[in-house]
């Protein structure tokens, strides 16, 4: 079960995600992020993962696809609110330094 809601703050779109991200719902996250990046052309997309306690490899793949899309269109993708578990899977994937990761929303908006 996953819950995704979007809000605009200044010129950024913030996705608040809560629940476990796994193969049953990661396509929903992927679709929401890619729409905002490719179709809505948001210059800055921020993903708030503070409500996510578990993310599997399909969730990581969704974030990677969103990152590639943001690079293609020249926008930025920022993550914040990583739990120990989500941080671990990004570390295991050697992606923690590939993503722009911030500690909180304020930093994600201003970095």
Partner 1 sequence: MGVLGFSEEECRAIIRAVDEAVSNIMRHSYSGRLDRPIEVSCRSLRRRSNGKGGQGVEFLLFDRGPAVDPTRLSGRPLDEVRCGGLGLHFIRDSMDRVEYKRTGNMNRLRLIKYARSSKQRPNP
Stretch that binds partner 1, among 5-13, 63-71, 72-80, 101-109 (CB under 8 A): 63-71
Q: Which residue has the tokens 């779109």?
A: 13
89 touching partner 1, by CB under 8 A: yes
Asked if 84 contacts 54 with a C-beta cutoff of 8 angstroms, the reply is no
Structure tokens at 15: 């996705």
**Whose Cβ is closer to partner 1: residue 34's or residue 109's?**
34
2 touching partner 1, by CB under 8 A: no
Asked if 104 contacts 81 with a C-beta cutoff of 8 angstroms, the reply is yes
Taking CB under 8 A as the criterion, the residue among 67, 69, 77, 78 binding partner 1 is 67
Helices 57-73, 26-34: inter-axial angle, 10-degree rounding: 10
For the bound state, the minimum distance from the C-beta of residue 80 to partner 1, rounded and expressed in Å, comes to: 20
Taking CB under 8 A as the criterion, the residue among 92, 104, 106, 111 binding partner 1 is 92
* Alpha carbons 71 and 66: distance in angstroms, whole number: 9
6 touching partner 1, by CB under 8 A: no
């Amino acid at each position: 079960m996953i819950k995704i809601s979007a809000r605009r703050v200044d010129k950024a779109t913030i996705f608040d995600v809560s629940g476990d991200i796994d193969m049953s719902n990661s396509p929903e996250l992927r679709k929401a992020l890619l729409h905002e990046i490719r179709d809505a052309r948001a210059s800055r997309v921020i993903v708030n993962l503070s409500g996510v306690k578990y993310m599997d490899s399909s969730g990581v793949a969704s974030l990677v696809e969103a990152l590639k899309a943001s690079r293609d269109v020249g926008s930025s993708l920022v993550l914040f609110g990583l739990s120990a578990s989500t941080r671990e899977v990004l570390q295991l994937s050697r992606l923690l330094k590939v993503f722009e990761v911030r500690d909180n929303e304020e930093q994600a908006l201003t970095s």
